């Protein structure tokens, strides 16, 4: 989770992290490629940023592509395994994102309230998600916060269109009473994106594309 104090990653990139830790013991990677063109990712999942894996899984369901990088250490997962989003270059993640036009990255932020902070280069999708959160009683902010997510190297912007959404959820939203509303709002916005992309695709691509429920 991200606190007020400045955190400095222990490793500069995934290569350094992988050289010091064991896959399947210290961390775990999950990749579900479903051909949807939409990826839901939790690059700081497991014990790194509590609850983000669960939220990402719920949003993706069986419809959208899913990627999780989960910390499994007994302690100090954030301090040890956190890679800042612009440095997150795990190869399996980048391979999945290269085939997706839309990317949503789920993060956790240390915040005592119940709010979602939206960033990334896909401003249209970020605003669509914010609107759907508002009508479900979840406070959402798309600007004026500390996590704009606009860097081209940010993992949320590494899809085929070079733009995605970074969703920062406060502590009380993850696992709290409003988490189902967050999941529903985001899935609704992603479903609309899926439907719009499918509607304008050539007929042969429409017939070969997956169908999100």
Question: Which pLDDT value is given to residue 203?
Answer: 63
Question: Which pLDDT value is given to residue 48?
Answer: 98
Please determine, for residue 206, whether its predicted confidence score (pLDDT) is greater than 50. yes
Q: How many other C-beta atoms can be found within 10 angstroms of the C-beta atom of residue 121? A: 22
Please determine, for residue 83, whether its predicted confidence score (pLDDT) is greater than 60. yes
SS3 content of the chain, % helix, strand, coil (to 5): 35, 20, 45
Question: Which band of pLDDT confidence, cut at 50, 70 and 90, is reported for residue 187?
Answer: very high
Question: Which pLDDT value is given to residue 197?
Answer: 86
Question: Which band of pLDDT confidence, cut at 50, 70 and 90, is reported for residue 7?
Answer: confident
- Burial (Cβ within 10 Å: 0-12, 13-18, ≥19) of residue 22: exposed
Tokens 């916060």 correspond to: 145
Mean per-residue pLDDT, 176-197 = 96
What does the alpha-carbon distance between residue 32 and residue 54 come to, in Å, rounded to a whole number? Answer: 14
Question: Which band of pLDDT confidence, cut at 50, 70 and 90, is reported for residue 28?
Answer: very high
Question: Which band of pLDDT confidence, cut at 50, 70 and 90, is reported for residue 211?
Answer: very low
Question: Which pLDDT value is given to residue 3?
Answer: 45
More confident residue, 213 or 198: 198
Mean per-residue pLDDT, 186-212 = 75
Lowest mean pLDDT among 17-26, 62-71, 105-114: 105-114
Q: Radius of gyration (Cα) for the chain, nearest Å?
A: 16
Confirm whether pTM is higher than 0.95: no
Question: Which pLDDT value is given to residue 6?
Answer: 65
Question: Which band of pLDDT confidence, cut at 50, 70 and 90, is reported for residue 200?
Answer: confident
Tokens 């997510």 correspond to: 149
- Burial (Cβ within 10 Å: 0-12, 13-18, ≥19) of residue 76: exposed
Mean per-residue pLDDT, 88-117 = 96
Question: Which pLDDT value is given to residue 64?
Answer: 98
Please determine, for residue 135, whether its predicted confidence score (pLDDT) is greater than 70. yes
Mean per-residue pLDDT, 153-173 = 97
Mean per-residue pLDDT, 179-193 = 98
Mean per-residue pLDDT, 207-211 = 49
Q: How many other C-beta atoms can be found within 10 angstroms of the C-beta atom of residue 54? A: 18
Taking CA atoms, 102 is separated from 98, 126, 160, in Å, by 10, 11, 8
């Amino acid at each position: 989770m991200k606190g007020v104090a400045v955190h400095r990653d222990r490793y500069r990139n995934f290569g350094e992290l992988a050289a010091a830790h064991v896959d399947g013991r210290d961390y775990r990677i999950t990749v579900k490629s479903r051909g949807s063109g939409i990826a839901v990712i939790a690059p700081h999942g497991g014990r790194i940023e509590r609850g983000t894996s669960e939220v990402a899984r719920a949003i993706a369901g069986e419809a959208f592509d899913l990627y999780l990088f989960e910390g499994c250490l007994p302690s100090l997962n954030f301090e040890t395994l956190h890679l800042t989003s612009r440095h997150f270059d795990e190869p399996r993640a980048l391979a999945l994102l290269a085939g997706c036009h839309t990317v949503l990255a789920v993060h956790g932020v240390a915040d005592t309230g119940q709010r979602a902070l939206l960033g990334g280069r896909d401003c249209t999708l970020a605003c669509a998600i914010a609107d759907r959160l508002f009508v479900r009683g979840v406070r959402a902010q798309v600007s004026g916060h500390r996590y704009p997510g606009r860097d081209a190297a940010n993992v949320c912007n590494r899809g085929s269109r070079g733009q995605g959404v970074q969703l920062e959820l406060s502590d009380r939203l993850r696992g709290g009473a409003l988490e189902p509303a967050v999941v529903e709002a985001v899935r609704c916005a992603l479903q609309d994106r899926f439907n719009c992309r499918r509607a304008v695709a050539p007929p042969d691509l429409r017939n070969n594309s997956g169908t999100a429920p």
